[in-house]
Structure 1
Amino acid sequence: MIVVATAGHVDHGKSALVRALTGRDPDRLAEERRRGLTLDLGFAWCDLPSGRRAAFVDVPGHERYLHTMLAGLGPVRAALLAVAADEGWAAQTAEHADALAAFAVPQLILVITRCDLADPGPAAAVARRELLARGLPAPAPLATSAHTGRGLDALRTALDQLSPAFPASPGPVRLWVDRAFTVSGAGTVVTGTLLGGTLRVGDRVELCPSGVEGPIATVRGLQVCGRSVAEASGPTRLAVNLRRVPLDAVPRGSALLTPDAWVVSTLVDVRLHAPGASANPPANPPALPAEVMCHLGTARRPARLRRLADDLGRLQLAAPLPLHVGDRLAVRDPAARTVLGATVLDPTPARIAGRGAAGRRRATLETATGRPLLADELSRRGLVRSTDLRRLGIPLPAGPPEEEWLIDPEHRRRLAERLLILVWTHHEERSATAPELTREQIRDALGLPDTRIIDLILSPQLREDHGRIGLANAVLPAALHRVAETTRRELTTAGLRAPTAGRWRELGVSAAELRALTRHGVLVRLAPDVYLTPDAIERAIAVLQRLSAPFRVSHARTALDAPRRVVVPLLEHLDRQGVTDKVTDDGHRRLRRRAHHATT
């Protein structure tokens, strides 16, 4: 389906054109029909020559209904601008064109109406010039007359040619509500333009802003152009029956959202665009007051604007909006009726506080493009959860399941360097038997939000042992030389009959010293009171290789001539290192191909 909004000055024939194309009257209110004047949004549809369908959102042209006009243009990506041949470019034509430029509507059909009353040439020439001045597309104008039928076939063809630019869009749903009403026996129904994603009967949707207890609602039914459907994909006009949602909870400007797929925010950093911003070089946007009105989709929000640079600003919204990076807002001066475009750069900005913070934020935003690119977001944020990137509208690479945290390569390098310095400094300053750093200590020292990030920045110079991180090839401190010699001598004598905790106490070797020797690779800790040398473990593996597979713990005990308190943790250690595998539930094992670092 092609969804097209009308635009143009009051009484320039927008609704008459829609009636001529569709056979339906978009003016649904009795007062509209009585006065011949569109006061609210109207809706109609027709089939095109190709069999595709065009749906129209007819907007009012009167200056008093500016808010309603912006609600009609906000959710669409194609517009039909009507200019009357006998009156030409007029005040609200210019205002509507400014709105089209502010929303950056990419597809435009220029229609010169009422050509039965005047030559369309002069109006067409002025209209094209005005569109180009605003940076809008200026297609060849179509001369039409709803009264005589002139040009209607050409207009249908032009509408049909829009469709290749509007493939069905994947991704999350954001349906902006433009009407809400109650149907007897069904409850609340809302209508809107769905640009992307797929909505199905039974889906759960988030309401924004939420006017009900708990923001999640269920889709009870769907209709497209009066026909019930099980699912609908954008772009399309859609009516949605919501289960157990009161009418006053979904006024115009509400949105139905895929849950957890949007940033719902009241603070947003934007790039402001001057009218005609496609000029080279682009002009700076004109001044705006501190108090402005923001429009997105069918929503409007009062906001306070803080200018960070000529074309950069921060908006503090009076109520939340569901946003993605790259969304296009219209920002309006309520008094002067100036309308500017604004591209969302960051819908989750940090508060600006402290000396120099505004300048640093300005420098960060200067290079922001507003395009939802993973590399750009990682470069700017450094470190971010994949779930947060999805909510920002940033496409993630396809492939294996994504990591919880994603990190910019340069940020990774800096953090890895800081971690190495932190561990080295701790190693130099601590006593020989003092424990190495825990993940929690490293998290706090580096200001990391999650200990799992340490996995992303561990370098080959570091190693982890039982949740503590130290240098991989640290030189054994002189204070441990004597105790190291004692343990080697004892273990050489005991073999795989490892000394007990009592025996270590008799030898004057403390538990802290045993742990320190483990960190330096002198010993391998198999259990709280079981330590062996790496050489002893290698010799044990050689013995196990001679056993027939699969073997049991009892077979290993006999072959190794070792007690169960040593053999069981030894085999579990070899399981973790990938040297052995359990092949049955009752403990039968086999040796796998020899793994590297079996004794670490």
Structure 2
Amino acid sequence: MKHIIIGTAGHVDHGKTVLVKKLTGVDTDRLKEEKERGISIELGFAYMKLPGGQTAGIVDVPGHERFIKNMLAGVGGIDLVLLVIAADEGVMPQTREHLEIIQLLQIDKGVVVITKKDLVDDEWLKMVYDDTKEFLSNTVLEKADIIAVSAVTGEGLPELINAVNQIAAGIEERKTTGPARLPVDRVFSVTGFGTVATGTLISGQIQTGESLQIYPGETVSRVRNMHVHGKKVELAESGQRVAVNLSGIETDDIKRGNVLALPASLKPSHRLDVSFKYLSSAPKALRHRARVRVYLGTAEILGRVILFDREELQQGEHAYVQLQLESPIAAARKDHFVVRSYSPMRTVGGGTIIDPFPNKHKRYRKEIIEALATAEKGSAVDWVEQYLNANAKLHTVTGLTSTLGMSKNDMAMALTKLTEERQAAKFATEGEDYFVSAMVLQQWENRIISALQDYHRKFPLREGYPKEELRSRFFSALTAKQFQILLNHFEKNQKISGMGHSVAIFEYKPLLSKEMGQVLHKFENIFLTSKFQPPSWSEATAQTGIKRPAESQEFLNYLLGQGKLVKITEGIFFHRQVLDKAISMIKEHFKQKSELSLGELRDLLQTSRKYALPLLEYTDREKITRRVGDLRVAGKLLI
């Protein structure tokens, strides 16, 4: 069933609360102070049954200037507004400010209610009606019905209820497929149950028993039970006023301005990229880095306005800006917000969120403005593509959904379209799939090919670039697992070759100059002719005439990598042919005898203990021999 939230708006003491009580039978003034002063301070809540069968929740917001922030906490989630104007006073300052807020939040469905008609004569009422009509000109409520009522006599109430019912019937049902989000507007404790948080569920669904995270913090609590319109429910849907009983937390752990949502479904941020309209009624131009009060959902946060392309924003102008917040907030794309000046406080602008989790941008960059314009006006596919292009990493569906505030279904459709059109690439893994924009993937390919080419030029004797060093230097945003996925892709497409712990250009072979070949031949000859008493590497280097240690090390690494030399132990290297000869002689020994002593090997190879002992330890490791006491017997490879 479709769920409707009706909100009241208007100047203090213009009869909003009395009107709601007449429509619903509920007095929304809960506080003693409100009763005594006759004005609403906190938000009030009620519900009414419409003739069409729908149950509409009603948010009664305070009208006094001092309580505007409480009004903003309640107006964000409404579908239909009742703008209340008293017949005996007409349009007043808070009437104007409330309409400006309604305009900024783009609440374009509503009824303008002229209350207290019993206090004025027909001529006065006609004048107020005409003034109101002019007041609404060129606003979102320009075509709204204007209905005069009296809460005392009941006159006009049937017409008002009928108008609300007709509008409600045409309101589009909110989607329940998006991630659940409930901005908290009230918190209290109920004896025997504990902490209760209320708010309007602006997207998704909440079920009894599931866990919700309190954003922007990390506290997670289980939903013990829920109430909608005073009745206990197991499932709450978007568009409903919901009271959520949370287990395991105190009232101090949650407050107005927090958002209840599924764990890890939102990403709190200190920055928001937004489309911003500065009101014509603002008292002066808005300067770059002006400190303001930002109202989003039920939260009020101090922040600064970062102007990208100018030093001042004039009254009535629109701009793409970044809101730099003093505390984090959990928001989603297309959320509406309102901005009030820091001091004195008055509504000066507002707009919609384009990117709820942006990077810090450099000012006076034309491409930033163009990107934000595209993101604001483009489709979901355009937005996802732009985000992938601007964020060079591997993304999961879960991560994208959380960051961009889209439903999983919408995200899946966008990613499918982008991959089909080859604007994005999908990497299927055993766990969660990864996505990257085609543009970023091409940049990565160019980067890794360039890095490998430079490396091969600098180290021509090496087989490839050490994998972890390559990742940390050029792809630090990727985990080791993600980097391996990327390497597998490039290897499959014959761009690179992976060799254990190193990476090379596809089919790369070390390029040896004539001089290098001659030096390598010298090294090999030294180790071949020395047989079972090889020199140390420094001694061999001295015989070749090489002076630079780094160059000498390159030759050693190459010979080891090619398998020409084998490291027996620290500082001792055998030529592969010599080592094979030694192993062959050991095998022949075991054909004659079942045991081999250190002295026998020393005599067999005509070498010294210095080389015979490390050689036996090497054959033990390779399972060619097996130590039994001070002797060796044939290992697994010889049995």
CA distance in 2, matches of 1:442, 1:132: 63
In the alignment, what sits opposite 1:443?
471
CA distance in 2, matches of 1:65, 1:381: 41
SS of residue paired to 1:320? strand
- Asked if 2 retains the 8 angstrom alpha-carbon contact of 1:423 and 1:471, the reply is yes
For structure 2, list consecutive stretches of 5 or more residues without a partner in the other structure. Answer: 314-318, 417-427, 519-557, 565-579, 581-639
Determine whether 1:162 maps to 2:168.
yes
**Which of 174, 186, 192 does residue 185 from structure 1 map onto?**
192
CA separation of 1:475 and 1:180: change in aligned 2, threshold 3 A: closer
CA separation of 1:438 and 1:142: change in aligned 2, threshold 3 A: farther
CA distance in 1, matches of 2:21, 2:296: 28
- Asked if 2 retains the 8 angstrom alpha-carbon contact of 1:108 and 1:138, the reply is no
CA distance in 2, matches of 1:453, 1:137: 56
CA separation of 1:9 and 1:368: change in aligned 2, threshold 3 A: same
In the alignment, what sits opposite 2:152?
147
Determine whether 1:195 maps to 2:195.
no
CA distance in 2, matches of 1:90, 1:112: 13
CA distance in 2, matches of 1:152, 1:247: 39
Cα displacement (A) at 1:128? 4.4
Is the deviation greater in 168-177 or in 142-151? 142-151
Cα displacement (A) at 1:374? 0.9
Q: What pairs up with 1:360-509 in 2 under 5 angstroms?
A: 360=365, 363-369=367-373, 371=376, 373-383=383-393, 385-386=395-396, 387-392=398-403, 393-395=405-407, 396-398=411-413, 405-432=434-461, 434-450=462-478, 451=480, 452-453=482-483, 455-456=485-486, 458=490, 459-474=493-508, 477=511
SS of residue paired to 1:154? helix
- Asked if 2 retains the 8 angstrom alpha-carbon contact of 1:85 and 1:112, the reply is yes
One-letter amino acid of the structure 2 residue matched with residue 388 of structure 1: G
Q: Deviations over 1:196-220 (max 9, x none)?
A: 111122221112354xxx6111211
CA distance in 2, matches of 1:466, 1:127: 77
Determine whether 1:221 maps to 2:225.
yes
CA distance in 1, matches of 2:42, 2:68: 10
Determine whether 1:248 maps to 2:252.
yes
Determine whether 1:319 maps to 2:327.
yes
- Asked if 1 retains the 8 angstrom alpha-carbon contact of 2:178 and 2:406, the reply is no
CA separation of 1:59 and 1:200: change in aligned 2, threshold 3 A: same
In the alignment, what sits opposite 2:263?
259
Number of aligned residues: 480
**Which of 108, 111, 131 does residue 110 from structure 2 map onto?**
108
CA separation of 1:351 and 1:192: change in aligned 2, threshold 3 A: same
Cα displacement (A) at 1:308? 2.7
Cα displacement (A) at 1:48? 0.9
- Asked if 2 retains the 8 angstrom alpha-carbon contact of 1:75 and 1:296, the reply is no
CA distance in 1, matches of 2:465, 2:484: 12
CA distance in 2, matches of 1:463, 1:157: 73
Cα displacement (A) at 1:235? 0.9
CA distance in 2, matches of 1:367, 1:510: 53
- Asked if 1 retains the 8 angstrom alpha-carbon contact of 2:179 and 2:203, the reply is yes
Q: Give the TM-score normalised by structure 1.
A: 0.71
Q: What pairs up with 1:498-577 in 2 under 5 angstroms?
A: 512-513=561-562
CA distance in 1, matches of 2:307, 2:394: 27
Name the structure with the higher helix share.
2
CA distance in 2, matches of 1:467, 1:143: 80
In the alignment, what sits opposite 1:331?
339
CA RMSD of aligned residues (A): 3.5
**Which of 269, 275, 296 does residue 271 from structure 1 map onto?**
275
- Asked if 2 retains the 8 angstrom alpha-carbon contact of 1:291 and 1:302, the reply is yes
Please identify the structure whose Cα radius of gyration is greater: 2
One-letter amino acid of the structure 2 residue matched with residue 190 of structure 1: A
In the alignment, what sits opposite 1:496?
none
CA separation of 1:122 and 1:219: change in aligned 2, threshold 3 A: same
SS of residue paired to 1:397? helix
Q: Deviations over 1:343-389 (max 9, x none)?
A: 3333333346xxxx3334x6424431454631221233343533432
CA separation of 1:403 and 1:427: change in aligned 2, threshold 3 A: farther
SS of residue paired to 1:385? coil
CA distance in 2, matches of 1:409, 1:447: 16
CA separation of 1:189 and 1:455: change in aligned 2, threshold 3 A: closer
CA distance in 2, matches of 1:94, 1:346: 30
